[in-house]
Structure 1
Amino acid sequence: MKKFLTASSIIAMLILSGCATNSGPEYDGSSYREIKTYEIGTVRNVRPVVVSDSGTGTFLGAIVGTVIGSTMGGGRGTALTTLAGGLVGAYAGNQAGKANASELSVMLDDGRDIVVVVKGSGYSIGDRVKIIKDGKKVDQVYKID
Protein backbone atom coordinates (compact mmCIF):
# COMPACT_ATOMS: atom_id res chain seq x y z
CA MET A 1 0.00 0.00 0.00
CA LYS A 2 2.87 2.33 0.83
CA LYS A 3 4.36 1.86 -2.66
CA PHE A 4 0.99 2.64 -4.23
CA LEU A 5 0.70 5.89 -2.24
CA THR A 6 4.25 6.86 -3.25
CA ALA A 7 3.50 6.17 -6.91
CA SER A 8 0.24 8.12 -6.70
CA SER A 9 2.02 11.06 -5.09
CA ILE A 10 4.68 11.15 -7.82
CA ILE A 11 2.05 11.04 -10.55
CA ALA A 12 0.03 13.82 -8.90
CA MET A 13 3.15 16.01 -8.58
CA LEU A 14 4.01 15.52 -12.27
CA ILE A 15 0.49 16.39 -13.36
CA LEU A 16 -0.02 19.39 -11.08
CA SER A 17 3.46 20.92 -11.22
CA GLY A 18 2.97 22.54 -14.62
CA CYS A 19 -0.52 23.98 -14.22
CA ALA A 20 -0.96 27.43 -15.72
CA THR A 21 -4.07 29.55 -15.26
CA ASN A 22 -3.87 31.57 -18.47
CA SER A 23 -5.43 30.08 -21.61
CA GLY A 24 -3.49 32.37 -23.99
CA PRO A 25 -0.51 31.49 -26.18
CA GLU A 26 2.46 29.84 -24.47
CA TYR A 27 5.97 31.24 -24.83
CA ASP A 28 9.25 29.56 -23.92
CA GLY A 29 10.76 30.82 -20.66
CA SER A 30 13.57 32.70 -22.41
CA SER A 31 12.03 33.67 -25.76
CA TYR A 32 9.29 35.92 -24.42
CA ARG A 33 11.83 38.73 -24.05
CA GLU A 34 12.96 38.64 -27.68
CA ILE A 35 11.60 40.85 -30.44
CA LYS A 36 9.46 38.88 -32.85
CA THR A 37 8.28 39.65 -36.37
CA TYR A 38 5.08 38.68 -38.10
CA GLU A 39 3.64 38.06 -41.54
CA ILE A 40 0.01 38.26 -42.62
CA GLY A 41 -1.51 36.20 -45.38
CA THR A 42 -4.40 34.13 -46.68
CA VAL A 43 -4.72 30.34 -46.33
CA ARG A 44 -4.76 28.74 -49.79
CA ASN A 45 -4.75 25.05 -48.79
CA VAL A 46 -5.16 23.01 -45.59
CA ARG A 47 -3.91 19.46 -45.13
CA PRO A 48 -4.24 17.38 -41.93
CA VAL A 49 -0.93 16.03 -40.56
CA VAL A 50 0.37 14.50 -37.31
CA VAL A 51 3.19 16.05 -35.27
CA SER A 52 5.26 13.35 -33.55
CA ASP A 53 6.39 13.35 -29.92
CA SER A 54 9.62 15.22 -29.20
CA GLY A 55 10.58 12.52 -26.69
CA THR A 56 9.19 14.15 -23.56
CA GLY A 57 5.97 12.10 -23.57
CA THR A 58 7.90 8.86 -24.06
CA PHE A 59 10.31 9.70 -21.23
CA LEU A 60 7.62 10.73 -18.75
CA GLY A 61 5.45 7.75 -19.69
CA ALA A 62 8.37 5.37 -19.08
CA ILE A 63 9.07 6.89 -15.65
CA VAL A 64 5.44 6.79 -14.54
CA GLY A 65 4.97 3.27 -15.95
CA THR A 66 8.11 2.04 -14.18
CA VAL A 67 7.01 3.50 -10.85
CA ILE A 68 3.53 1.98 -11.14
CA GLY A 69 4.93 -1.34 -12.37
CA SER A 70 7.30 -1.52 -9.40
CA THR A 71 4.34 -1.47 -7.01
CA MET A 72 2.91 -4.66 -8.51
CA GLY A 73 3.97 -8.25 -8.44
CA GLY A 74 6.04 -9.96 -5.81
CA GLY A 75 9.49 -11.53 -5.69
CA ARG A 76 10.79 -12.06 -9.21
CA GLY A 77 7.47 -10.82 -10.57
CA THR A 78 8.30 -7.30 -9.40
CA ALA A 79 11.16 -7.03 -11.89
CA LEU A 80 8.90 -8.16 -14.73
CA THR A 81 6.06 -5.80 -13.81
CA THR A 82 8.55 -2.94 -13.46
CA LEU A 83 9.92 -3.64 -16.94
CA ALA A 84 6.47 -4.09 -18.43
CA GLY A 85 5.24 -0.90 -16.76
CA GLY A 86 8.16 1.05 -18.20
CA LEU A 87 7.58 -0.30 -21.72
CA VAL A 88 3.82 0.24 -21.65
CA GLY A 89 4.31 3.72 -20.16
CA ALA A 90 6.85 4.66 -22.84
CA TYR A 91 4.49 3.54 -25.61
CA ALA A 92 1.51 5.33 -24.05
CA GLY A 93 3.57 8.49 -23.52
CA ASN A 94 4.74 8.42 -27.13
CA GLN A 95 1.19 8.08 -28.42
CA ALA A 96 -0.10 10.77 -26.08
CA GLY A 97 2.69 13.10 -27.20
CA LYS A 98 1.51 12.99 -30.82
CA ALA A 99 -0.75 15.81 -31.87
CA ASN A 100 -3.11 16.43 -34.75
CA ALA A 101 -1.97 19.38 -36.78
CA SER A 102 -2.67 21.26 -39.98
CA GLU A 103 -0.28 22.05 -42.78
CA LEU A 104 -1.27 25.47 -44.11
CA SER A 105 -0.24 26.77 -47.52
CA VAL A 106 -0.36 30.54 -47.11
CA MET A 107 0.00 33.32 -49.65
CA LEU A 108 1.53 36.22 -47.78
CA ASP A 109 0.40 39.76 -48.47
CA ASP A 110 3.79 40.47 -50.11
CA GLY A 111 3.08 37.73 -52.70
CA ARG A 112 5.31 34.96 -51.30
CA ASP A 113 3.92 31.45 -50.78
CA ILE A 114 4.91 29.60 -47.60
CA VAL A 115 3.91 26.42 -45.76
CA VAL A 116 3.35 26.43 -41.99
CA VAL A 117 2.49 23.50 -39.71
CA VAL A 118 0.33 24.33 -36.68
CA LYS A 119 -1.04 22.07 -33.96
CA GLY A 120 -4.77 21.64 -34.01
CA SER A 121 -7.29 22.30 -36.73
CA GLY A 122 -9.94 24.88 -37.44
CA TYR A 123 -8.30 26.61 -40.38
CA SER A 124 -10.11 26.90 -43.70
CA ILE A 125 -9.22 28.06 -47.18
CA GLY A 126 -9.60 31.83 -47.31
CA ASP A 127 -8.83 32.44 -43.62
CA ARG A 128 -6.62 35.45 -42.92
CA VAL A 129 -3.78 34.48 -40.56
CA LYS A 130 -1.06 36.23 -38.62
CA ILE A 131 2.16 34.22 -38.38
CA ILE A 132 4.42 35.31 -35.53
CA LYS A 133 8.05 34.36 -36.13
CA ASP A 134 11.02 34.00 -33.80
CA GLY A 135 13.91 34.28 -36.24
CA LYS A 136 13.10 31.68 -38.89
CA LYS A 137 10.95 29.61 -36.53
CA VAL A 138 7.18 29.89 -36.37
CA ASP A 139 6.13 30.86 -32.87
CA GLN A 140 2.35 31.31 -33.22
CA VAL A 141 -0.28 31.25 -35.93
CA TYR A 142 -3.79 32.56 -35.43
CA LYS A 143 -6.75 33.79 -37.42
CA ILE A 144 -7.38 37.50 -37.81
CA ASP A 145 -10.39 39.43 -39.09
Structure 2
Amino acid sequence: MNITVSRLMITLASLLLTACATVGASSGGAGETEIRSGRIEQIMPTQMQTNHDSGVGAILGGLAGVGIGSLIGQGTGRDVAMVAGALAGAAGGNYVEKKKYDRPQQAQQIIVRVRNGVLVSVTQPINPALNKGMNVYIEGTGNDARVVPQS
Protein backbone atom coordinates (compact mmCIF):
# COMPACT_ATOMS: atom_id res chain seq x y z
CA MET A 1 0.00 0.00 0.00
CA ASN A 2 2.82 2.43 0.89
CA ILE A 3 4.61 1.77 -2.40
CA THR A 4 1.43 2.45 -4.37
CA VAL A 5 0.81 5.71 -2.52
CA SER A 6 4.45 6.75 -3.03
CA ARG A 7 4.27 6.04 -6.77
CA LEU A 8 0.99 7.89 -7.03
CA MET A 9 2.44 10.94 -5.24
CA ILE A 10 5.56 10.91 -7.46
CA THR A 11 3.41 10.69 -10.59
CA LEU A 12 1.16 13.51 -9.39
CA ALA A 13 4.14 15.71 -8.49
CA SER A 14 5.79 15.11 -11.86
CA LEU A 15 2.56 15.94 -13.69
CA LEU A 16 2.19 19.17 -11.73
CA LEU A 17 5.79 20.20 -12.38
CA THR A 18 5.48 19.36 -16.07
CA ALA A 19 2.30 21.41 -16.35
CA CYS A 20 4.09 24.41 -14.82
CA ALA A 21 7.02 24.20 -17.24
CA THR A 22 5.67 25.98 -20.30
CA VAL A 23 7.87 27.32 -23.05
CA GLY A 24 6.79 30.58 -24.64
CA ALA A 25 8.19 33.35 -26.78
CA SER A 26 8.75 35.65 -23.81
CA SER A 27 10.67 33.04 -21.82
CA GLY A 28 13.42 32.76 -24.40
CA GLY A 29 12.32 29.35 -25.60
CA ALA A 30 10.75 28.22 -28.81
CA GLY A 31 7.63 30.11 -29.72
CA GLU A 32 6.16 32.76 -31.93
CA THR A 33 7.20 36.39 -32.08
CA GLU A 34 4.96 38.89 -33.81
CA ILE A 35 6.77 40.91 -36.48
CA ARG A 36 5.01 43.83 -38.16
CA SER A 37 6.41 46.06 -40.87
CA GLY A 38 5.90 49.73 -41.55
CA ARG A 39 7.51 53.13 -42.08
CA ILE A 40 8.84 55.50 -39.41
CA GLU A 41 6.66 58.61 -39.18
CA GLN A 42 8.42 60.34 -36.29
CA ILE A 43 11.32 59.88 -33.85
CA MET A 44 11.38 61.88 -30.61
CA PRO A 45 14.05 61.83 -27.89
CA THR A 46 12.86 60.78 -24.43
CA GLN A 47 14.08 58.94 -21.34
CA MET A 48 13.40 55.46 -19.97
CA GLN A 49 13.62 54.25 -16.40
CA THR A 50 16.14 51.47 -15.98
CA ASN A 51 15.23 48.29 -14.20
CA HIS A 52 18.09 48.18 -11.71
CA ASP A 53 15.77 47.52 -8.78
CA SER A 54 17.60 44.30 -8.00
CA GLY A 55 17.60 44.72 -4.23
CA VAL A 56 21.33 44.05 -3.98
CA GLY A 57 21.87 47.37 -2.22
CA ALA A 58 19.26 46.57 0.40
CA ILE A 59 20.68 43.09 0.97
CA LEU A 60 24.28 44.26 1.31
CA GLY A 61 23.24 47.20 3.49
CA GLY A 62 21.18 44.91 5.71
CA LEU A 63 24.07 42.47 6.12
CA ALA A 64 26.45 45.32 6.96
CA GLY A 65 23.92 46.66 9.48
CA VAL A 66 23.63 43.26 11.16
CA GLY A 67 27.41 43.02 11.33
CA ILE A 68 27.78 46.44 12.90
CA GLY A 69 24.82 45.87 15.22
CA SER A 70 26.38 42.64 16.50
CA LEU A 71 29.32 44.65 17.82
CA ILE A 72 27.06 46.68 20.13
CA GLY A 73 26.01 45.52 23.59
CA GLN A 74 25.21 42.04 24.88
CA GLY A 75 22.16 39.80 25.15
CA THR A 76 18.84 41.43 24.25
CA GLY A 77 20.50 44.79 23.59
CA ARG A 78 22.72 43.16 20.97
CA ASP A 79 19.67 41.55 19.33
CA VAL A 80 17.87 44.88 19.18
CA ALA A 81 20.98 46.57 17.78
CA MET A 82 21.30 43.86 15.10
CA VAL A 83 17.66 44.25 14.02
CA ALA A 84 17.91 48.04 14.00
CA GLY A 85 21.20 47.82 12.08
CA ALA A 86 19.66 45.47 9.53
CA LEU A 87 16.67 47.79 8.96
CA ALA A 88 18.78 50.94 8.75
CA GLY A 89 21.37 49.23 6.54
CA ALA A 90 18.73 47.87 4.18
CA ALA A 91 17.08 51.29 3.87
CA GLY A 92 20.44 52.98 3.29
CA GLY A 93 21.61 50.37 0.79
CA ASN A 94 18.38 50.65 -1.16
CA TYR A 95 18.68 54.46 -1.23
CA VAL A 96 22.28 54.29 -2.48
CA GLU A 97 21.37 51.76 -5.17
CA LYS A 98 18.51 53.89 -6.47
CA LYS A 99 20.54 57.12 -6.34
CA LYS A 100 23.64 55.73 -8.03
CA TYR A 101 22.37 53.07 -10.43
CA ASP A 102 18.68 53.71 -11.12
CA ARG A 103 19.04 56.73 -13.38
CA PRO A 104 16.93 57.27 -16.48
CA GLN A 105 18.67 56.40 -19.74
CA GLN A 106 18.38 58.20 -23.03
CA ALA A 107 15.82 56.64 -25.35
CA GLN A 108 13.70 57.38 -28.39
CA GLN A 109 9.98 57.19 -28.96
CA ILE A 110 9.38 55.94 -32.48
CA ILE A 111 6.04 56.31 -34.24
CA VAL A 112 5.62 53.72 -37.00
CA ARG A 113 2.74 53.54 -39.48
CA VAL A 114 2.24 49.84 -40.12
CA ARG A 115 0.98 48.51 -43.46
CA ASN A 116 -2.69 48.59 -42.44
CA GLY A 117 -2.43 52.32 -41.58
CA VAL A 118 -2.38 52.01 -37.79
CA LEU A 119 0.18 54.08 -35.87
CA VAL A 120 2.31 52.17 -33.36
CA SER A 121 4.46 53.90 -30.73
CA VAL A 122 7.55 52.12 -29.37
CA THR A 123 9.91 53.55 -26.76
CA GLN A 124 13.32 51.90 -26.78
CA PRO A 125 17.01 52.66 -26.19
CA ILE A 126 18.53 54.85 -28.89
CA ASN A 127 19.26 53.10 -32.19
CA PRO A 128 21.24 55.55 -34.38
CA ALA A 129 20.52 53.44 -37.48
CA LEU A 130 16.85 54.51 -37.46
CA ASN A 131 15.68 57.56 -39.44
CA LYS A 132 12.36 59.17 -40.35
CA GLY A 133 10.83 57.59 -43.47
CA MET A 134 12.78 54.34 -43.09
CA ASN A 135 11.08 50.97 -43.63
CA VAL A 136 11.27 48.99 -40.40
CA TYR A 137 10.08 45.91 -38.59
CA ILE A 138 8.40 46.02 -35.19
CA GLU A 139 9.42 42.87 -33.36
CA GLY A 140 7.39 41.70 -30.36
CA THR A 141 4.58 43.38 -28.48
CA GLY A 142 4.09 45.44 -25.33
CA ASN A 143 7.19 46.32 -23.31
CA ASP A 144 9.25 43.85 -25.34
CA ALA A 145 8.55 45.56 -28.70
CA ARG A 146 11.57 46.86 -30.64
CA VAL A 147 11.87 48.73 -33.93
CA VAL A 148 14.63 47.45 -36.21
CA PRO A 149 15.56 48.47 -39.77
CA GLN A 150 14.52 46.26 -42.66
CA SER A 151 17.55 44.73 -44.36
Question: TM-score range, shorter-chain basis?
Answer: 0.5 to 0.7
Paired residue for 1:19? Answer: none
SS at match of 1:111: coil
SS at match of 2:116: coil
Task: Report which of the two has the higher share of strand.
Answer: 1
CA RMSD of aligned residues (A): 3.1
Residue 81 of structure 1 deviates from its aligned partner by: 3.7
TM-score, normalization: structure 1?
0.57
Q: Does 1:102 align with 2:99?
A: no
User: C-alpha distance in 2, partners of 1:91/1:58?
Assistant: 12
Go from structure 1 to structure 2 and tell me whether the alpha carbon gap of 1:37 and 1:28 turns closer, same or farther (over 3 Å shift): closer
Residue 115 of structure 1 deviates from its aligned partner by: 0.9
SS at match of 1:110: coil
User: C-alpha distance in 1, partners of 2:97/2:58?
Assistant: 7
SS at match of 1:117: strand
Paired residue for 1:61? Answer: 57
Paired residue for 2:89? Answer: 85
Letter in 2 for 1:129: V
Paired residue for 2:6? Answer: none
Flag the structure with larger Rg. 2
User: C-alpha distance in 2, partners of 1:107/1:50?
Assistant: 22
Could you list the runs of 5+ residues in structure 2 that have no partner in the other structure? Answer: 1-24, 73-77
Residue by residue over 1:69-91, the C-alpha shift from the partner in whole angstroms, topping out at 9 and shown as x without a partner, is: 32235316554443232012222
Go from structure 1 to structure 2 and tell me whether the alpha carbon gap of 1:38 and 1:28 turns closer, same or farther (over 3 Å shift): closer
Could you list the runs of 5+ residues in structure 1 that have no partner in the other structure? Answer: 1-26
Q: Does 1:33 align with 2:30?
A: yes
Paired residue for 2:9? Answer: none
Instruction: Give the aligned length.
Output: 113
User: C-alpha distance in 2, partners of 1:138/1:48?
Assistant: 16
Aligned identity (percent) is 18
Paired residue for 1:9? Answer: none
Residue by residue over 1:84-117, the C-alpha shift from the partner in whole angstroms, topping out at 9 and shown as x without a partner, is: 3201222234453454233222222332211112
